[in-house]
Amino acid sequence: MINVTIWHEFRHEKINESVAELYPKGIHGRVKEFLESDDVKVTLASLDEPNQGISDELLESTDVLMWWGHIAHKEVSDELVSKIRDRVYSGMGFIAMHSAHHSKPFKTIVGTTGDLTWGRNQRAIVWNLCPTHPIAEGIPAHFELFEELYAEPFFIPKPDDLVFGTWYEDGNIFRGGATFTRGLGKIFYFHPGHETCTSFDNEYVQRILKNAVKWCSPIKVEDGFVINGCVKQIEEVFKK
C-alpha cells in the first residue's frame, strides 16, 4: 500500500466560478478519483487547513507527496517547506504538478528558480522521449493536450531522465516531464494540469501520474545508510 498525500493550494476553485465548475471537488479531489486503488491510499490536504494541511504525523506517514500550487506559493511557511525537504531527502517521493515548478518545496528540494516561459492555453503534444522508463509504461510515442504554455528556457537542473518533451502550437518546446533524485527521495515534475484545462481527464496523464506514484515510492533503507546521521555524528564530535 502506497500512502499518497495530494496537497492543493485550493484557491482558484474558491475565487473563479469556471474553475469551480471544472473541479467541483478541487483539483486534488479530481486527481484522487483516478489515483486511488487497492494499492494506493490517498489523503487530501490544502493550504487553508490547520498546519497548512500537513501535520508532522501526516508528513511522516506519507510515501509520496503530490503538490499543486499557483497563486499562493508565498503563503506556504518556510518551516513546512524545510520539513518537506528533509522528508524527501529521507526517502519520501515528491510529484510537482503543473505550476508547482514555482512552488517553494520543488525549488528548495531540487535546487532551482523554477523559472520558465509561459503563455496562453493552446494545442500541445506530449512526446515520450524515454519509453524504457517506468513512468512511460503504457504511454504511446505521443498524445495531445490543450494546455497552458509552459516552455523553455526552463531553469531546472539537468534531469536524471527526461521522460517527456512537449510541443506547443506557438513554436515552443518544454522539458515538461523530468525526474530527479535528492538524498533518498525521487522527484518527478510533470507540466499538465492548468486550472482552466481538463488534462486530468486525459487517460495518458492519469496513467503517467499513476506510474509516477509507483516509481516515487520510498525504497526500504538497508544497513549502512544512516539518514541524517552523519550530520549528528560530526556535530557530536565537535561539541566535545
* Binding residue for a copy of itself, selected from 25, 36, 75, 234, defined by CB under 8 A: 234
Assess 112 for contact with a copy of itself (CB under 8 A): yes
Strands 64-68 and 40-46: unpaired
| Contact (Cβ atoms closer than 8 angstroms) between residue 109 and residue 85 | yes
Question: Measuring CA to CA, which residue among 135, 217, 136, 232 is closest to residue 184?
Answer: 217
Looking up cell 515538461 gives 176
- Rounded to a whole number of angstroms, the minimum distance from the CB of residue 71 to a copy of itself is 6
- Rounded to a whole number of angstroms, the minimum distance from the CB of residue 3 to a copy of itself is 18
- Rounded to a whole number of angstroms, the minimum distance from the CB of residue 42 to a copy of itself is 23
Residue 134 backbone class (left: φ over 0; alpha: ψ -120 to 50; beta: rest): alpha
Site track for a copy of itself across 52-91, x = CB under 8 A: -------------------x--------------x--x--
* Binding residue for a copy of itself, selected from 47, 142, 146, 206, defined by CB under 8 A: 142
Q: Which residues, numbered 200-219, are part of the site for a copy of itself (CB under 8 A)?
A: 219
Assess 236 for contact with a copy of itself (CB under 8 A): no
Q: Is the dihedral of CA 164, 165, 170, 172 positive or negative?
A: positive
Q: Which residues, numbered 12-51, are part of the site for a copy of itself (CB under 8 A)?
A: none
Residue 138 backbone class (left: φ over 0; alpha: ψ -120 to 50; beta: rest): left
Q: Is the dihedral of CA 185, 186, 190, 195 positive or negative?
A: negative
Q: Smaller CB distance to a copy of itself: residue 54 or 148? A: 148
Q: Smaller CB distance to a copy of itself: residue 128 or 199? A: 128
* Binding residue for a copy of itself, selected from 184, 196, 198, 214, defined by CB under 8 A: 184
Assess 183 for contact with a copy of itself (CB under 8 A): yes
Number of residues written out for the chain:
240
User: Distance between CA 46 and CA 49 in Å, rounded?
Assistant: 6
Helices and strands (H and E) in the chain: how many: 8, 9
Assess 222 for contact with a copy of itself (CB under 8 A): yes
Q: For residue 56, count other CB atoms closer than 10 A to its CB.
A: 11
Assess 228 for contact with a copy of itself (CB under 8 A): yes
Q: Which residues bind a copy of itself (CB under 8 A)?
A: 71, 86, 89, 102, 108-118, 125, 127-132, 137-142, 152-153, 155, 157-158, 160-162, 165-168, 171-173, 175, 180-184, 186, 219-231, 233-234, 238
